[in-house]
Structures are given as C-alpha cells and as structure tokens.
Amino acid sequence: MLTATDRRPWLVTCRRGDGLRLIGFPYAGGGPSLFRGWPSELLQDIELCAVH
C-alpha cells in the first residue's frame, strides 16, 4: 500500500531552465526549501532541482 509520502516526488523543481540541470542534495535533516533562494543567484538557463 502506498502512503502520501510514497507518492511525493523525490526531485522538486525550483526553476526550469534550458541548459544545465543542477541537483541539490540538502544536508541530513534538511529539505528542498534549503535551495529556495538559489534561483536568483543562478544563470537563467540553469534548471535547479532539489532532492526531497
């Protein structure tokens, strides 16, 4: 049986881009919200995804 947490995606896309895909792995106990401020610091063509 699947629970709500089993259906949640492992990767959260913070911003879509056409070029490079950057995948952020948070520290132990951290979450994808750690990367919420990153899009403004990256070039526009970089896609940022964070691991849940």
pLDDT tens-place string over residues 17-50: 788 989 999 999 999 999 999 999 999 899 999 9
Residue 48 is inside which H or E element, if any?
strand 47-51
Considering only residues 42 and 6, tell me which one the structure prediction assigns the higher pLDDT: 42
Of the candidates 21, 10, 13, the residue with the CA atom closest to the CA atom of residue 45: 21
Question: What beta strand segments (E) does the chain contain?
Answer: 11-15, 21-24, 47-51
Q: Are 50 and 24 contacting, i.e. CB atoms less than 8 angstroms apart?
A: yes
- Look-up of token digits 């259906």: 7
Give me the domain span that covers residue 10. Answer: 4-51
pLDDT at position 2 over 50: no
What is the predicted pLDDT for the residue at 29?
Answer: 92
What is the number of structural domains in the chain? 1
Report the pLDDT value the prediction gives residue 1, as an integer from 0 to 100: 47
pTM: 0.69
